[in-house]
């Protein structure tokens, strides 16, 4: 009995030693494994709604995790708050767990304040960069005592150009809403519950500067927050308006870029979605978020040709409205539904209204203004597009839109 007890004690000690050594030497491996490995899918449904925030241009993507957590990536242009709020109501989203601002351009943040004033947002994530030309106001903004949908009565006239004012309004809405603010940094992961995980891939530092931009490039776009969404075997890449320079920088890093679905960068501008990047991402599906009245030449034919050569299935918000992806996280198990059927070939790009192949020729945000209100029909083909600029220019003059580049 005594010998048996003694033997048993030695065995226990040996097992404890082995476990201790495994924990000591294996902890880094285990931590790294947990850091890189998405949690197992719960089997519940993950939804991704690429909202139709046209007709000018813009991005707004609503993610609802199997656990019911909601993420909004970008918020479209000013005046698009209703589209987003309607979607939140439609999908029974009571609050946004995360709002991710990919970059400070008005077609991504224009309606952020409209959304934040009407919906509780718990966390706001952006790249920490202000748009070029923006300076913080000298006097701190008075916080609103009560959030309401009504416009502030005694708001002092803001002399900042409208192209910068959207950012001011975004910052105000973040501080007034009381959301936790976090800077997007590569490697950060956000657990959306039920097995869904959002990982930040870019921007990495040092940030791209204006001087580093190649012809046609734009540094706020190049420094876009890039994120990937994982849920079991399902994955989606959300690159904001990242440029080819961003893509090539990501290719040099040890990043998992391969995804089932690619939200095509920069509304399928010719300045993004390089062939070598596509070869690494290997998407089965590409989704272009752009407006049917955009005058930037989005989607660019050259990019659509690259996507076609890569063998992807293509969806476009300008032709099909809101695009919804649902999945339970099993391999190749995702469904895609569109709000309407495309009335023209999705593989046919749009022509820009201005040659932007040199810096002097940049297409400026607001160059063409909004679509005229007295025009009910939508452009059906390129001929229609060619007939519109006069109206756009008139609207532009009336509204005194400020110049901006390459939104």
Site residues, Zn ion (CB under 5 A): 107, 241
Which tokens go with 92?
């029974």
C-alpha pair distances (Å), 294 with each of 112, 225, 378, 405: 20, 23, 12, 14
Q: Nearest 10 degrees: CA dihedral of 280, 190, 242, 37?
A: -10
Instruction: Tell me the closest approach of the beta carbon of residue 289 to Zn ion, in angstroms.
Output: 9
Instruction: Tell me the closest approach of the beta carbon of residue 137 to Zn ion, in angstroms.
Output: 25
DSSP state of 159: -
C-alpha pair distances (Å), 184 with each of 60, 126, 181, 299: 18, 5, 10, 27
- Give 51 or 192: the residue with its C-beta nearer to Zn ion: 51
- Give 60 or 327: the residue with its C-beta nearer to Zn ion: 60
Distance (Å, whole) CA 407 – CA 405: 6
- Give 241 or 367: the residue with its C-beta nearer to Zn ion: 241
DSSP state of 251: H
Question: Under a CB-based contact definition with an 8 Å cutoff, are residues 236 and 226 in contact?
Answer: no
Per DSSP, the chain holds a count of helices (H) and strands (E) of: 12, 15
Instruction: Tell me the closest approach of the beta carbon of residue 300 to Zn ion, in angstroms.
Output: 13
- Give 204 or 224: the residue with its C-beta nearer to Zn ion: 224
- Give 119 or 265: the residue with its C-beta nearer to Zn ion: 265
Instruction: Tell me the closest approach of the beta carbon of residue 270 to Zn ion, in angstroms.
Output: 14
Instruction: Tell me the closest approach of the beta carbon of residue 154 to Zn ion, in angstroms.
Output: 33
Instruction: Tell me the closest approach of the beta carbon of residue 406 to Zn ion, in angstroms.
Output: 9
* 256 closest CA partner among 230, 285, 287, 221: 230
Distance (Å, whole) CA 338 – CA 340: 5
- Give 107 or 169: the residue with its C-beta nearer to Zn ion: 107
CA distance from start to end of the chain: 82
C-alpha pair distances (Å), 223 with each of 53, 298, 356: 22, 20, 20
**What is the CA 171 to chain-centroid distance, rounded?**
18
Instruction: Tell me the closest approach of the beta carbon of residue 341 to Zn ion, in angstroms.
Output: 25
- Bond into 360 cis (ω within 30): no
* 405 closest CA partner among 371, 354, 350: 354
Instruction: Tell me the closest approach of the beta carbon of residue 107 to Zn ion, in angstroms.
Output: 4
- Give 38 or 291: the residue with its C-beta nearer to Zn ion: 291
- Give 285 or 363: the residue with its C-beta nearer to Zn ion: 363
- Give 115 or 192: the residue with its C-beta nearer to Zn ion: 115
Instruction: Tell me the closest approach of the beta carbon of residue 77 to Zn ion, in angstroms.
Output: 9
- Give 196 or 364: the residue with its C-beta nearer to Zn ion: 364
Instruction: Tell me the closest approach of the beta carbon of residue 407 to Zn ion, in angstroms.
Output: 5
| Backbone φ/ψ region at 14: left (φ over 0), alpha (ψ -120 to 50), beta | alpha
Q: Which long-range contacts (CB under 8 A, 24 or more apart) does 180-188 make?
A: 180/122, 180/123, 180/124, 181/123, 181/124, 181/125, 182/123, 182/124, 182/125, 183/125, 183/126, 183/127, 183/128, 184/100, 184/125, 184/126, 184/127, 184/128, 184/225, 184/227, 186/253, 186/255, 187/35
């Amino acid at each position: 009995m005594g010998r048996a007890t003694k033997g048993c004690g030695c065995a226990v000690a040996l097992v404890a030693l082995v476990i201790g050594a495994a924990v000591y030497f294996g902890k880094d491996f285990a931590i790294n494994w947990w850091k890189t490995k998405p949690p197992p899918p719960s089997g519940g449904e993950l939804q991704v709604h690429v909202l139709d925030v046209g007709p000018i241009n813009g991005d707004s993507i609503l993610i609802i995790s199997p656990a019911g957590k909601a993420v909004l990536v970008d918020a479209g242009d000013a005046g698009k708050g209703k589209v987003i709020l309607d979607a939140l109501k439609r999908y029974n989203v009571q609050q946004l767990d995360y709002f991710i601002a990919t970059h400070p351009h008005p077609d991504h943040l224009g309606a952020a304040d409209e959304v934040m004033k009407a919906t509780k947002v718990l966390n706001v994530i952006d790249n920490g960069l202000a748009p070029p030309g923006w300076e913080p106001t000298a006097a701190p903004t008075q916080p609103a005592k009560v959030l309401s949908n009504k416009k502030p009565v005694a708001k002092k006239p803001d002399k900042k150009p409208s192209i910068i004012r959207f950012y001011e309004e975004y910052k105000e809405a973040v501080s007034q809403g009381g959301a936790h603010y976090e800077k997007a940094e590569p490697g950060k992961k956000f657990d959306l519950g039920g097995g869904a995980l959002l990982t930040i891939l870019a921007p990495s530092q040092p940030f791209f500067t204006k001087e580093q931009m190649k012809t046609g490039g734009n540094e706020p776009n190049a420094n876009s927050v890039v994120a990937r969404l994982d849920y079991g075997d399902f994955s989606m890449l959300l690159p904001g308006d990242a440029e080819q320079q961003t893509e090539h920088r990501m290719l040099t890093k040890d990043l998992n870029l391969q995804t089932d679905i690619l939200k095509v960068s920069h509304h399928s501008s010719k300045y993004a979605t390089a062939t070598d990047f596509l070869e690494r991402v290997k998407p089965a599906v590409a989704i272009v978020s752009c407006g049917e009245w955009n005058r930037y030449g989005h989607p660019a034919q050259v990019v659509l040709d690259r996507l076609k050569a890569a063998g992807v299935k293509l969806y476009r918000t300008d032709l099909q409205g809101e695009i919804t992806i649902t999945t339970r996280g099993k391999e190749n198990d995702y469904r895609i539904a569109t709000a309407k059927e495309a009335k023209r070939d999705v593989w046919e790009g749009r022509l820009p209204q201005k040659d932007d192949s040199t810096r002097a020729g940049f297409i400026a945000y607001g160059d063409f203004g909004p679509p005229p209100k007295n025009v009910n029909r939508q452009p059906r083909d390129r001929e229609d597009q060619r007939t519109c600029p006069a109206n756009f220019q008139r609207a532009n003059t009336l509204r005194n839109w400020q110049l901006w580049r390459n939104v």
